[in-house]
Amino acid sequence: MEAKLYPVLGLMSGTSLDGLDILYAEFWQDASGRWRYRMGASETRAYPADLRAALASAMGMGGLELSFLDADYGHFVGRCIRDFVAKYSLHPEFAAVHGHTVFHQPERALSLQIGDGAAMAVESGLPVINKFRNTDVALGGQGAPLVPIGDALLFPEYDFCLNLGGISNISFDAGASGRVAFDISPCNLALNRLAARQGLAYDKDGALARKGKLVLSLLQALDSLVFYRLEPPKSLGFEWFSSEFWPVVESCPGSSVPDLLHTVTEHIASQIARVCHSQPGKRSMLLTGGGALNLYLKERISALAGVEVVSASRQLIEYKEALIFAFMGVLRMRGERNCLRSVTGARKNACGGCVFLP
């Protein structure tokens, strides 16, 4: 019997507010039962200036204002889906949408990703799956990271799967403990904010960081943050970045931007290396996310961690999270687990996601 083909869309919005990633992908199982995928059309839709500003300030909004943003963002995403499908003459079965994270406080049973699912479905004319984190959080889990189910089923040949987005996170098979994954440290969230001081959207290739010098006191202060001593499962949100991490960076007002970029880059790479060294014998690393294009950061990770960093395709680097959310949507529609308790600390594995019909 020919394996069923799932043609779907995956959409991801990260904490760095770079835009809305949209990917068309097809999934199927081969004769051995292993999941396979094929990536098709993809693009990142930039946010209109007013919407980007609203998303950036969402944490400080009152309930009514945030509710309006939830609806507005849902209609925006739905229109993007509709336009994308028409532009590339696609016929997806549904769209799986991460939504935009505003609050992430799993210790208080809260992780909020805005984007009204009904608005997305109506605007796009497609079934839409969102709210992938909610069930896991209700089960006592972190609700993050969610990507490891895709790492386990789509990329089993790699010892480590490292994503360098607004926040760096890692995933690996820990043997009897199952798949383990957790957030490691801020990444582009910090680097892009520092680059903005030079009027840049980001530090291309890590060129400014490469020119800088190490601020040892800052590196030591960052490495001393309590989060790094916690055992997984653990995850990071913008709240922690704003209240714990960024004030330490701002405590060095006399340091140049290149020196700050150099030091924060070293901090990110050293924290990643620390995790890798805890898993002796693991050598290969699949590197994705926007930070994978930062050549200096990539070099420092390879040097400090002592692993072979495998270069993914440019499309996989930029759209892996969208790919895996599309895949999580497939698992949701099949009624199969798409969130792992070994990763999040929840009471059991979950099949997360709410389905909205047009």
**pLDDT tens-digit readout, 184-207:** 999 999 999 999 999 999 999 999
The segments of the chain whose pLDDT lies below 50 read none
Distances (CA, A) of 66 to 55, 113, 128, 235: 9, 11, 21, 23
Residue 163 contacts residue 169 (beta carbons within 8 Å): yes
pTM above 0.85, yes or no: yes
CA distance linking residue 102 with residue 55, whole number of Å: 8
Distance between CA 167 and CA 268 in Å, rounded? 10
Token readout for 20 is: 């809305």
CA dihedral 85, 88, 91, 96 (to 10 degrees): -50
C-alpha distances (whole Å) from 211 to each of 192, 256, 262, 267, 355 are: 16, 11, 8, 16, 49
What is the rounded CA–CA span in Å between residue 262 and residue 259? 5
Mean pLDDT for the chain overall: 95
Q: Is the dihedral of CA 213, 216, 221, 226 positive or negative?
A: positive
pLDDT at residue 33, rounded to an integer: 94
Pairing relation of β-strands 160-164 and 167-173?
antiparallel
Residue 358 neighbours by CB distance under 10 Å: 14
State the CB neighbour count (10 A cutoff) for residue 55: 20
Q: Assess whether the region 6-141+350-356 and the region 160-306 belong to the same CATH fold.
A: yes
In the CATH scheme, what is the code of domain 6-141+350-356?
3.30.420.40
Q: What is the pLDDT of residue 17?
A: 81
- 15/113 Cα distance (integer angstroms): 11
Encoding tokens for residue 213? 């010098």
Residue closest to 125 by CA, chosen among 257, 213, 9, 243? 9
The SS3 call for residue 127 is: coil
Give pLDDT, residue 26: 98
Beta strands in the chain (DSSP E): 6-13, 20-29, 35-45, 95-97, 100-105, 110-114, 128-130, 160-164, 167-173, 179-186, 284-288, 308-311, 354-356
Give the 3-state DSSP-derived string for 140-209, with helices as H, strands as E and coil as C.
Answer: CCCCCCCCHHHHHHHCCCCCEEEEECCEEEEEEECHHHCEEEEEEEECHHHHHHHHHCCCCCCCHHHHHH
pLDDT score of 310:
87
The structural domains of the chain, with segments of one domain joined by +, span 6-141+350-356, 160-306
Is 92 exposed, middle or buried (CB count within 10 Å of its CB: 0-12, 13-18, 19+)? buried
Specify which residues 95 forms β-bridges with. Answer: 9, 128
Assigned CATH for 160-306: 3.30.420.40
- The pLDDT assigned to 198 comes to 96
Q: Are 150 and 324 in contact (CB under 8 A)?
A: yes
